[in-house]
Amino acid sequence: MTDPIKSPTTNPDWWRGAVIYQVYPRSFQDTTGDGLGDLRGVTLRLPHIASLGVDAIWLSPFFTSPMADMGYDVSDYCDVDPIFGNLADFDEMLAEAHRLGIKVIIDQVISHTSDQHPWFIESRASRDNARADWYVWADPKPDGTAPNNWLSIFGGPGWEWDGVRRQYYMHNFLISQPDLNFHNPDVQDAVLATVKFWLDRGVDGFRLDTVNFYFHDKLLRNNPPHEPDPDSVGLDAPDTNPYGMQNHLYDKTQPENIEFLRRFRALLDQYEGRTTVGEVGDGPRSLKTVAAYTGGGDKLHMCYTFDLLGPDFTASHVRKCVTAFQNAVTDGWVCWAFSNHDVQRHVSRFAETVEERARVAKLAVTLLSALRGSICLYQGEELGLPEAELAFEDLRDPYGIRFWPAFKGRDGCRTPMVWEKAADYAAFSAGKPWLPVPVEHRPLAADAQEHDPDSVLQHYRRTLAFRRDQDVLRDGDMRFVDSNQNLLSFVREKDGKRLLFVFNLTRERANFAPADQRIARVIAWPGFSPVYADVEIHLAPFDMFCAELD
């Protein structure tokens, strides 16, 4: 057995308040000309990521896969798919990231595998082989229908008939993504062995895909109907998808998951400075689940939910989400984000016109950087990229293809990065990319923004530098300040230092009176132009104000 590789960090809590940059490798940089991004491309573009001032990158899956779900259907957890390169390419990327002071978090997709994984091939061969119980198998009802009413997020029933075993197997996503049976301790051991493989290789942490999907109800009880909750801030699926019509009491978020997460954390604690961030999709119960998964210091380090990944960019919504988290999660930690590879880009969600996009992009990252918690950025948002409008024939996402045109899927946020405005395919690739490069993205290319002091890219750099230099923004306390207008105002405080933030997320001018807040100095923030006069702050639409308090 090899000795664990030590992380280069000197602070084991580096993840607390960290800025994480998500890389979707197949759309980041292609170095082979096949139109697909690869690990060498990630290495090539690491200086760009480092220039932003982030603490870590999160790499979406690059493991061996048939790519039915763009790598979220893994057939070998311990190798690199040839389209992305090989293990030597990964090691080179990891070493270069560490040299630049960037941690590397990889996407661990362990709730399910590909149906091409050797584990499943053996499991489906018979009912009595060594891995027969490694997946969720169940007999049909007497009339031949599925064991219960569980649904797949990607459409249709959550069960698929297998003629060899004459049983159904469970799949929360595609038919080709069978769910592992975590009630079997051998499955847990095998999964943790793959985690250890990457820990020994030197990775700094894991983003755990669908972390509350690991266990299912042993009794296979039917899910009841969903009861609409007007106060809910979490969604399970778009309203075009019947998955959201169920209250998912039994197909996920089972109590047994707590003990497995303790096993996962115990493994990580054998290594220095490693971390975990879990993806929790649990509808209105999401914050309760985050509290259970991150509390106590013996499970996950942090989680994120879908609360800020919707269309609502208002003071009341943000305050509601943050307050709900603070009330529910007393000793855990959250990772906030406005965009990722599964949702429409937030510039398109929040801005109503093309003219608003740059200002909204700047305001959004400033707000995100001021919140208490860690934050995650998604590649391209530092350029202010909007959602791409794609034709149906260009789609590659099975989710979008299944629900088109009511739901257009996730390809619109997965188009290639635009590096050079005038280059072929915006310098993403020398060959035709797997998804089109949108014409409207070209003027926003990195080289077009590099030397423009007013660009979204430069604003990201300045904002993240400010966050990095202010210890109070890493892990200081946060309390909201009431306003007589639709403004988001709060104070961040640590060790006697207090910073006041006021955000106008509306399209109207607004005024804010600090009341008993005594302003010691106003902090100038390029890109915003509030006026502080006569003991009142005047904010333009999509404006913000920051000051240090006495």
DSSP 309-331: SSS--SHHHHHHHHHHHHHH-SS
239 contacts: CB under 8 Å, gap ≥ 6: none
- Amino acid symbol at 148: N
What pLDDT, on the 0 to 100 scale, is given for residue 384? 98
Q: What is the pLDDT of residues 276-307, one digit of tens each?
A: 999 999 988 898 999 999 999 999 999 988 89
Residue 223 CA: distances (Å) to CA of 170, 196, 243, 279, 464: 14, 35, 11, 22, 44
Rounded to 5 degrees, φ, ψ at 300 are -80, 150
User: 19-111+185-466, what's its fold?
Assistant: TIM Barrel (3.20.20)
Q: Is the pLDDT of residue 331 over 60?
A: yes
What pLDDT, on the 0 to 100 scale, is given for residue 3? 39
Q: Is the pLDDT of residue 390 over 60?
A: yes
**Strands 335-336 and 302-304, bridge-based pairing:** unpaired
Please pick, among 81, 179, 204, 209, the residue that the annotation labels catalytic.
209
Q: What is the pLDDT of residues 125-175, one digit of tens each?
A: 999 999 999 999 999 999 999 999 999 999 999 999 999 999 999 999 999
CA dist., res. 189 & res. 21, Å (int): 30
Nearest to 380 by CA among 463, 442, 451: 442
Nearest to 249 by CA among 348, 150, 390: 150
Q: Which residue has the higher pLDDT, 489 or 7?
A: 489
> Does the domain spanning 477-549 belong to CATH 3.40.50.620?
no
Q: Is 209 a catalytic residue?
A: yes
- Contact of 378 with 346, CB cutoff 8 Å: no
Q: Which residue has the higher pLDDT, 550 or 113?
A: 113
Mean pLDDT of the chain: 94
Please pick, among 89, 115, 251, 279, the residue that the annotation labels catalytic.
279
- E strand or H helix that includes residue 488: strand 488-494
3-state SS of 444-487? Answer: HCHHHHCCCCCCHHHHHHHHHHHHHHCHHHHHCEEEECCCCCCC
CA dist., res. 436 & res. 499, Å (int): 43
Q: What is the pLDDT of residues 50-90, one digit of tens each?
A: 999 999 999 999 999 999 999 999 999 999 999 999 999 99
What pLDDT, on the 0 to 100 scale, is given for residue 232? 53
Q: How far is CA 147 from the centre of its chain?
A: 32
Q: What is the pLDDT of residues 372-384, one digit of tens each?
A: 999 999 999 999 9
Three-state secondary structure call for residue 425: helix
Average pLDDT over residues 220-241: 76
| pLDDT interval class at 236 (50, 70, 90) | low
Q: Is the pLDDT of residue 6 over 70?
A: no
Nearest to 160 by CA among 149, 151, 168: 168
Q: Where in the chain is the domain with CATH 3.20.20.80?
A: 19-111+185-466
Q: Is the pLDDT of residue 114 over 60?
A: yes
Residue percentage of the chain with pLDDT more than 70: 96
Q: Is the pLDDT of residue 4 over 90?
A: no
Handedness of CA 44, 48, 51, 52 (dihedral sign): negative
CA dist., res. 90 & res. 87, Å (int): 5
Q: Is the pLDDT of residue 270 over 90?
A: yes
Q: What is the pLDDT of residues 507-548, one digit of tens each?
A: 999 999 987 778 999 999 888 999 998 789 999 999 999 999
439 contacts: CB under 8 Å, gap ≥ 6: none
pTM of the model: 0.95
What pLDDT, on the 0 to 100 scale, is given for residue 231? 53
Q: Where in the chain is the domain with CATH 2.60.40.1180?
A: 477-549
Three-state secondary structure call for residue 187: helix
Average pLDDT over residues 315-331: 92
What pLDDT, on the 0 to 100 scale, is given for residue 483? 85
